[in-house]
Amino acid sequence: MFAHELLVRFLTTLRASGIRISVAEELDAMLVAEVVGYKDRSLLRDALGLTVAKSLEEKKIYEICFDDFFNREELREKLASEKEANGKSGDDNGSSTTLGQMLLDGDRSGLLLAIELAANQVGISQIRLFTQINLYAQRILEQMDLGGVQAEIGTMRRFGSPQMSQQADQLEIALENLGEDVREYVRRQFEVFARGEPDRIRDGFLYQMRLGSIKPRDKARLRIIIRQIARRLATRHARVLRKKRKGKLDVRRVIRTNIPNDGVLFRTAFRLKKIQRPKIVAICDVSGSVASSAEFLLFFLWNLREILSGVRAFAFSSDLIEVTDILDKLDPEEATKKIMNSIGFGATNYGNSLSTFRKNWMTIVDRKTTVIILGDARGKRTEPRIDIVRELSERAKRLIWLNPEQRQVWGTGDSDMLRYKPFIHLAKVCNSVANLETVVSDLLEAERHG
Amino acid sequence: MNEGIDRKLITVDSVAEGLASVGYIPSRQIATAVYLAERLTKPILVEGPAGVGKTELSKAVASYLNLPLIRMQCYEGLDEGKALYEWKYGKQLLYTQILKDKLGEEMRSASTLKEALTRLDSIDDIFFSERFLEERPLLKALRHPSGAVLLIDEVDKADQEFEAFLLEILSDFQVTIPELGTVSAVVPPIVFLTSNSTRDMGDAIKRRCLHLHIGFPDPHLERQIVEVRVPGVSERLRLQLVSFVQQIRGMDIKKLPSVSETIDWARVLLLLHADCLEYDMVRDTLNVLLKFEEDVDAVGSQVTAFVHKARSEAEGCL
């Protein structure tokens, strides 16, 4: 029974660290633990790992958690048995409360055990938010009879014999140390039990937040969200694509497949519709003014390439380069970094960049191509070359402009957005991940029907 | 599961030894996975880079347990007809043709239309019976009387619909055939699914499987594998070549060499009568180990340093 509880606690820890474990898997884990037993630690580690951690990332987390958890368990058991051994022999040292005695004795192992016990009683595993740490620490201290010891200190001071007040001082110092210990303990438990929780709350925020205003520390998290979205879109897209491929009855193939049946038509064969490979040319502004969102736009571009084959990607600030290869070869993080380093953060020049595109790549844009431009259309009062945008618009199937700025400020200051706008088939605000998802989803939809 | 197999899988160690006896050196984790798979009758989903022995594992298990290995290669567009069962249309047709007269006779003797129809009904069942059932791998594995090892290879290449279709088989070891009813496994087969992670497997399928990730082996294990697979290689060469390969794995190249490449390379070196790594010989045979021109170039420039380190490491071990 004890082992069973231990396992449940361990699984809670794992869940809290971000490993997804379903109820079915929990049952499996128990079965596994029963089969292999708890004695052989490394066997248990391997066996449970096979059952609950279902990807390479999860396995890494799992291994760290396992070692952490069971080392702590071992320590706890040792403490408990030590206490058993010298429990009753404690002599009276002036304090009437158990906590007071332990404090005066400097019985560290006893104190740690008491913290554990008290923590379980106040339900430490329910901790979810960083701000709850002090609250839980206070509750644990109270559970450990902090009040009793404080009262005792009061009494000692009042009776005022020098020996007594010296002991009171001692107790006070010890209490302070204890408070630190408890807070530290709660902090660690918070790490264990609530690691996944704030993520979930934060994900919700990040999804809606303006790309530009996302803090650097949240970037890693945002990348994960984008990755998930890309994957979601990819699966949805792929399925519909397959379904739509079934075309008319192919009479010739029907006859051929049924030759073995003596020409009697048992099986039908259908022609496959030719799928129009969506051709997408994405041109992404990575200049200083949009730098904060550019990183994510590039990252999204990278993921887009995974969903749709045949995306050609370009990046520009003062001039334009093709980045398809970079996105192809490198990880999203490295690719983004490399692109930003080679061309990012410059002074924007839409005219110059567009004319470079026209000179070298205009031929790849044809009637089947969708051109997406990601940028704020702020050219620092350089020549906007509206004519090129018009040419793009005429050549391409669709020209889509995704602008990270709010619609109200389009055309204000040095923004040429309104001058470009007449030639754009679809101009959209794109400043949060949520936005990005709808835009790309629409895009995929349009490609299919296109 | 019959008794012999039970005994063969009684502990993790016996599994490890057994697999080793048929030439597959498992890591501790792999042995545990096989052991648990049998104990809990659960399929194993094996992931990992190409060439680390995912497919090989199921072959080894089959030959150790003396069970037939039934292999199903997945690809895009794989459907029930190819995976589960099919009716033998040709045979059905042929038989109806041959039995035409017989059928006519039967029908003639029927006095009323209703009677004729009833007779026809009973005949219909004959034509959709076991006799005309073409077993495909999944059904074959389920119905094998002594149990089998079922390998569903590269399941990530199949469509998602097919993945969903696998769920019933993987969790209950049974399938439903409309004309015949539900077929349950005589003896639950030991199922391996392999995946190269070209796409993420669905959660539903992961939940039903034990998840085994086979990575590149550590030097010790890799030496053992080479020893078993290419017995003629001297100990010095073995130490050196494994150390060399391990160093390459630390590099940033397109395709890292796997165990299968290490084994191939060891064979090549053996054919060339090598006793230890020579710079030129290594350079000339790099294409066995590496599959891309850029990789060969990248490693080529490091050969001297790597061989040197491999040699000194080997000396340290000897």
In one-letter notation, the amino acid at residue A255 is I
Say how far apart CA A380 and CA A317 lie, in whole Å: 11
In chain A, positions 237-296, which contact chain B (CB-CB < 8 Å)? 238-239, 242, 260-262, 264, 266-267
Inside any domain, residue A326: yes
**CB-CB under 8 Å, B29 with A32:** no
B32 inside 8 A of chain A by CB: yes
Nearest to B190 by CA among B65, B291, B13: B65
Q: Which of A238, A242, A261 sits opposite B90 (nearest CB)?
A: A261
A56 inside 8 A of chain B by CB: yes
Chain A residues with beta carbon closer than 8 angstroms to that of B33:
46, 50
Chain A residues with beta carbon closer than 8 angstroms to that of B210:
50-51
Q: Which of B40, B90, B213 sits opposite A260 (nearest CB)?
A: B90
For residue A203, the model assigns a pLDDT of 65
Inside any domain, residue A102: yes
Asked whether residue A79 falls in the same domain as residue A35, the answer is: yes
Give the domain ranges of chain B.
3-75+145-213, 85-133, 219-317
Q: Is A177 helix (H, G, I), strand (E, B) or coil?
A: helix
For residue B246, the model assigns a pLDDT of 93
Q: Which of B40, B94, B211 sits opposite A53 (nearest CB)?
A: B211
Say how far apart CA A110 and CA A80 lie, in whole Å: 8
A305 burial (CB, 10 Å; 0-12 / 13-18 / 19+) is: buried
- pLDDT tens digits for range A318-359: 888 888 888 877 777 778 788 888 877 778 888 889 999 999
Q: How confident is the model at residue A135 (pLDDT cuts 50, 70, 90)?
A: confident
A54 inside 8 A of chain B by CB: yes
Q: Which of B12, B44, B45 sits opposite A43 (nearest CB)?
A: B12
A25 inside 8 A of chain B by CB: yes
Asked whether residue A150 falls in the same domain as residue A122, the answer is: yes
Chain A residues with beta carbon closer than 8 angstroms to that of B90:
260-262
**CB-CB under 8 Å, B36 with A32:** yes
Asked whether residue A179 falls in the same domain as residue A284, the answer is: no
**CB-CB under 8 Å, A56 with B33:** no
Q: Which of A31, A59, A242 sits opposite B213 (nearest CB)?
A: A59
Chain B residues with beta carbon closer than 8 angstroms to that of A60:
none
Full domain range(s) for residue A292: 277-449
Asked whether residue A284 falls in the same domain as residue A181, the answer is: no
**CB-CB under 8 Å, A56 with B42:** no
Interface test with A, best of B38, B208, B211 (most A CBs within 10 A): B211
Interface test with B, best of A54, A228, A306, A330 (most B CBs within 10 A): A54
Asked whether residue A348 falls in the same domain as residue A420, the answer is: yes
Asked whether residue A81 falls in the same domain as residue A102, the answer is: no
Interface test with A, best of B210, B255, B294, B295 (most A CBs within 10 A): B210
CATH number at residue A296: 3.40.50.410
**CB-CB under 8 Å, B97 with A49:** no
Q: How confident is the model at residue B248 (pLDDT cuts 50, 70, 90)?
A: very high
Inside any domain, residue A215: no
Chain B residues with beta carbon closer than 8 angstroms to that of A227:
none
Higher-scoring residue by pLDDT: A74, B273? B273
A24 inside 8 A of chain B by CB: yes
Inside any domain, residue A218: no
Helices (H) and strands (E) counted in chain A, each on its own, are 19, 8
DSSP B30-47: HHHHHHHHHHHT--EEEE
Asked whether residue A298 falls in the same domain as residue A440, the answer is: yes
For residue A207, CA distances in Å to A222, A227, A296, A301 come to 8, 12, 13, 17
Interface test with A, best of B76, B96, B100, B213 (most A CBs within 10 A): B213
Q: Which of A42, A231, A242 sits opposite B159 (nearest CB)?
A: A242
Closest Cα in chain B to A45: B29
Q: What is the average pLDDT value for chain A, to the nearest integer?
A: 78
Instruction: State which H helix or E strand residue A281 sits in.
Output: strand A279-285
Closest Cα in chain B to A48: B210
Closest Cα in chain A to B97: A262
Chain A residues with beta carbon closer than 8 angstroms to that of B29:
46, 49-50
Higher-scoring residue by pLDDT: A300, B34? B34
Beta pairing partners, A312? A281
Chain A residues with beta carbon closer than 8 angstroms to that of B211:
50-51, 53-55
Average pLDDT over residues B302-315: 89
ipTM over 0.90: no
- pLDDT tens digits for range A417-429: 888 989 998 888 8
Q: What is the average pLDDT value for chain B, to the nearest integer?
A: 87
Asked whether residue A83 falls in the same domain as residue A121, the answer is: no
Q: How confident is the model at residue B151 (pLDDT cuts 50, 70, 90)?
A: very high
Asked whether residue A289 falls in the same domain as residue A438, the answer is: yes
Rounded to a whole number of angstroms, the distance from the CA of B240 to the nearest CA of chain A is: 29
Average pLDDT over residues A170-185: 85
Rounded to a whole number of angstroms, the distance from the CA of B208 to the nearest CA of chain A is: 8
**Fold exhibited by the domain B3-75+145-213:** Rossmann fold (3.40.50)
B17 inside 8 A of chain A by CB: no
Q: Which of A35, A36, A54 sits opposite B206 (nearest CB)?
A: A54
**CB-CB under 8 Å, B40 with A32:** yes
Rounded to a whole number of angstroms, the distance from the CA of A359 to the nearest CA of chain B is: 31
Instruction: Return the minimum-mean-pLDDT range out of A29-38, B162-171, B206-215, B220-229.
Output: B162-171
Find out whether A30 and A7 touch, Cβ atoms under 8 Å.
Answer: yes
B232 inside 8 A of chain A by CB: no
Q: Which of B29, B36, B211 sits opposite A54 (nearest CB)?
A: B211
- pLDDT tens digits for range A245-302: 667 888 888 888 888 777 778 778 887 765 555 678 888 888 877 766 777 777 777 7
How many Cα atoms sit within 13 Å of A185 on the Cβ side? 26
Average pLDDT over residues B9-14: 86
Q: Which of A158, A175, A194 represents a domain boundary (last residue)?
A: A194
- In total, how many domains does chain A have? 3
Higher-scoring residue by pLDDT: A18, A182? A182
Find out whether B126 and B30 touch, Cβ atoms under 8 Å.
Answer: no
For residue B115, CA distances in Å to B96, B104, B119, B121 come to 20, 14, 6, 10
Q: How confident is the model at residue A90 (pLDDT cuts 50, 70, 90)?
A: very low
Token pair of B96, please? 């109806």
Q: How confident is the model at residue A88 (pLDDT cuts 50, 70, 90)?
A: very low
Say how far apart CA A191 and CA A199 lie, in whole Å: 12
**CB-CB under 8 Å, A47 with B89:** no
Q: Which of A89, A109, A140 represents a domain boundary (last residue)?
A: A89
Chain A residues with beta carbon closer than 8 angstroms to that of B32:
36, 43, 46-47, 50
- pLDDT tens digits for range B276-303: 888 888 999 999 999 888 889 888 888 8
Interface test with A, best of B14, B35, B36 (most A CBs within 10 A): B36
**CB-CB under 8 Å, A36 with B200:** no
Closest Cα in chain A to B92: A261
Inside any domain, residue A152: yes
Q: Which of A89, A116, A148 represents a domain boundary (last residue)?
A: A89
A63 inside 8 A of chain B by CB: no
Residue in this structure with the two tokens 């730098």, named with its chain if needed: A291
- pLDDT tens digits for range A150-164: 888 888 888 777 888
- pLDDT tens digits for range B190-199: 999 999 876 7
B298 inside 8 A of chain A by CB: no
For residue A91, the model assigns a pLDDT of 44
Beta pairing partners, A314? A283, A322
DSSP A68-125: HHHHHHHHHHHHHHHHHHHSTTPPP-S--SHHHHHHHHT-HHHHHHHHHHHHHHTTGG
Interface test with B, best of A50, A59, A262 (most B CBs within 10 A): A50
Chains A and B form CB pairs within 8 A to the count of 68
